[in-house]
Chains A and B, each alone.
Chain A
C-alpha cells in the first residue's frame, strides 16, 4: 500500500470525523453541565435540513449555516425548557427531539421543494468548498511531508478547521475559565453551585445553547460541506456515534478528538474495502465494514471499554432540597 492510498484514507477520516467531533463536543458541554443529550441526532438533522434549504434558496452557504444553527438552537431550547425549567426526563425529551426532527425535516422539505423530501442540490456559493492552505501547492513536491500537507492537512472545508480549533478552545473554556469551572461543578453537584449563589438554571441553559450551536455546525457541515444538499435521515446515527465517542472519551475534549477520529477512520475504511482487503489479504464483506462504526458504538455504550464515570449529576433535574 502506498503513501497516496494511506493519505486518501486519512483524508476521508478527517472529513468524516468532523461532524462527529462537532456533535461530540456539543454533547460534552451539555453533559458536563448535567444535561444528558440523546437528541444530538435530531439537532444535527434539523440543522442539516435548514442549512441546505436556506442555502439553496438564498444561494449563500453562510446564511444557510446561520439558519442551521438557529434550527439546532431552537431544538436545544425545547430540550432546555423540558429538562431544566420543567424538570422533565432528559432521555424522553431527547428522544422526542429526534422524532420531531426526523419527521419535520422530510415533511417541510417535501412541501417546500417537492423533491421527495430532499433539498435541491447545492452548488457554487451555496456550499462549503475545500480551501487550499497557503503554500500547499508550492510544497506539494516535497517528498513525504509535501503530500501530507497538501492531501491531509490542506484542502478541507473551513468547517473542518473550525471543528479542530474547537478542541483546544473547549479544553481551555472548561479548565481555565470561571464559566468552565461553574459548568463542570453544575454537572457534578448543582447544590454546590446553588449555595455559592450562582444560578444553576442559567448555567445549564448556557451549556445547552452551546450544544445547540455546535450541533448546528455539525448538521450544516453534513449538508453543505460533506454533501451537496439534504436527504432524509442523512445523519445516519451520527448523533449516537458521537455519544458513544463521548463516553469513550470520558467527557474530555482532547480524548473526544481521538475518539471521533477513530470512528471517522472506521467509516473511511468502509468506503475503501479494497484497502483492508489489500492489507489483510482476505475478502471482507462490505456490509460488515459498513456496520463497524455501529458495532463499536454498541460495544462502547455497553460499557466494555474501561470504566467511564459520567458527570455525577447527569440526567438529574435540580430541585432544591427541603
Chain B
C-alpha cells in the first residue's frame, strides 16, 4: 500500500476570503483505501479545504493530484468526475423529493427521468447490500430521520461512482447508535478499497475510526500522524497549540441549602405531554446534570425554568414560588428571581445574530441601572462592559462592535456565558454549553461553570453529551420520554448505566442486549414522531 500513489495529494493550497486567509500553503497526502481524519477547531479551515477539493471554491494557489494525476478542479462537476464525493455537514437534499429523486438529481442518464430512476433503484439495492446502507428509495426525505438522510447523502456520492468520500462533521446530528452505524458503513467502504476523509473536531472519533490523522490550526496544516502512533492529549495539543485539560479539574462538591426545588412539573405542547411530571432539587454549590437523548423533554424543562414556556406543577427558587404560566412567567421575572440562563441554541435564543456584541451583552439586563441612564440605554457603559467581559472570557476578536454572527461558535457561546454568569445569579441554567464549540473554548467554559459552583451557586446543566455530563456534574438525573428515570451520584455511575437509563431501562444491574436497547429507543422515537 505504501508504494501506491496517494489517493489525494495537495501541494501549497491557499485560499482567502477577503482579508481572512482560510487556508495557508496546505500540503498533505491521503493514502488510498484508508480512513483519514482531519481534525481542527472550528474555523481552522477544514471545511474550506474540503470545499476546494470538491470544487465548491477555487483555490488561490496550489496543486491537487488525484491518484497520481494532476487535476484542475474548477467546479463540482469536475470533482465528481474525478471520483470525489462529499457529504456536507448540512445535508444538500431536496426535502420534498423521494430518496430516489435526490440520488438521481444532477446524475440523470438522459432527458427523460424514467430510465434513470429505474437504474438508480437497482443500484441502490446493490449498494444497500454491499455497505449496510438500507434506505427506502420511495421515502420522502423530509419524513425520514437525520441518520437516514445522511445515508442518502452517502448513497448519492456512491451512485456517482465516488471512490474518495469526504464527510464533514458527520456525527454532529447523530445519536450514539446512529454514529456507530455510520462508522460501520465507513469501515465497509474502506474494506471495498474506497478512501474516506473524515472531518471532525471530536478526538474520540478520530481515535476510533481513522488510520491517519492530519491536524489543522488557524488555516495551516500542522502535522499528519498515524492514529496508532498518537493519543488524544497529543492531538488536542496540536489542535490548540498549547496543553489542554481534557478532564475537568474539580474538587468534590459541598452542597448547601436547596436553591431550586421542582415538584411534579408537567409540560404540554399541542396537546402532547412533553414533560410528564418531574421532581428534583438543585442545591447551592452543586451541579445537577440532566442527561438524555435529545427530545425527551429536557429542552422544554429548561424553557419552563427560563420563563418562556408555560407548565403546571410547582417550582421554587430560594423558597419563593416561580409562576409557571400567565403573569410573571417571563424571562425578566426569572432574572429578578436570581436565575440566569444560557439557552440551548445560542443562535436563535441566546443572541441576536445581526446585532453587535455590545448590544447582545445587554440583552435581558438592559433595564438595569448598570446599563441605563433614566429611560435611555447607556451605550458607553454597555460597550465598556462588553470589552471587559471579552477580556475576561477571552473572546476573539475582542471587538464589541463586531456583529454576533461574525464570531465563531465558541466565541459566540463565550459572549452568552459571560453575560449570564457575570450578573451574579443564584441559579444558572445551562443548555448544551459546548455544542459546536471548539476544544479550547470547551475547557474554558467548563472551568467557568465549575468556578460558579465553587462560589456557592446552583447549576442545572442539560446536555446530550454524556462525556460532558459525567465530567461536570456532581449529581446526574436521566430523562427519558418526559420523565426522570433515575438519579445517580456522578462519581458512582458510568456511561453504561446512564446509557441504559437514557433508553428508559431502569433495572440497570441486569444485563441488556444491544438489540433490546435499540428496540426501546426505536419505540420511543416512533411514538414521538406520531405525536409530532
Question: A: which residues have CB within 8 A of B?
Answer: 175-182, 184-185, 188-189, 191-198, 312, 320-322
Contact = CB atoms under 8 A, between A and B. Distances in A.
Which 5 pairs between the two chains have the least Cβ-Cβ distance?
A: A196-B106, A197-B77, A197-B76, A178-B108, A192-B92
B108 A181 contact: yes
B112 A195 contact: no
Given A189-B95, A196-B107, A197-B106, A181 B76 contact: no
B105 A193 contact: yes
Contacts of A197: 55, 75-77, 79-80, 106
Contacts of A185: 94, 97, 105
Given A181-B105, A192-B92, 8 more contacts: A180-B113, A181-B113, A185-B97, A188-B94, A188-B97, A189-B95, A193-B105, A312-B95
Given A178-B112, A197-B76, A197-B80, A192 B56 contact: no
Interface in B500-523: none
Nearest to A192: B92
6 contacts: A178-B108, A182-B105, A189-B92, A194-B76, A195-B76, A195-B92
B174 interface: no
Contacts of B97: 184-185, 188
A30 B88 CA distance: 28
B80 A189 contact: no
Contacts of A322: 17
Contacts of B86: 195
Contacts of B54: 195
Contacts of A196: 76, 80, 92, 105-107, 156
* Interface-central residue, B79, B106, B111, B113, by most chain A CB under 10 Å: B106
Interface in B51-88: 54-57, 75-77, 79-80, 86, 88
B93 A189 contact: yes
A188 B112 CA distance: 21
A193 B156 CA distance: 12
Interface size, B (range): 20 to 34
Given A179-B111, A185-B97, A192 B116 contact: no
Given A176-B112, A177-B111, A178-B113, A191 B92 contact: yes
A195 B53 CA distance: 12
A175 B104 CA distance: 14
B112 A193 contact: no
Contacts of B95: 188-189, 312
A312 B93 CA distance: 12
Nearest to B87: A195
A21 B254 CA distance: 75
B96 interface: yes
Nearest to B97: A185
B102 interface: yes
B111 A178 contact: yes
Contact of B102 (A191, A192, A198): A192
A176 B115 CA distance: 10
A179 B339 CA distance: 56
Contact of B105 (A175, A192, A312, A321): A192
B167 to A, nearest CB: 14
A176 B156 CA distance: 20
B260 to A, nearest CB: 40
A188 B96 contact: yes
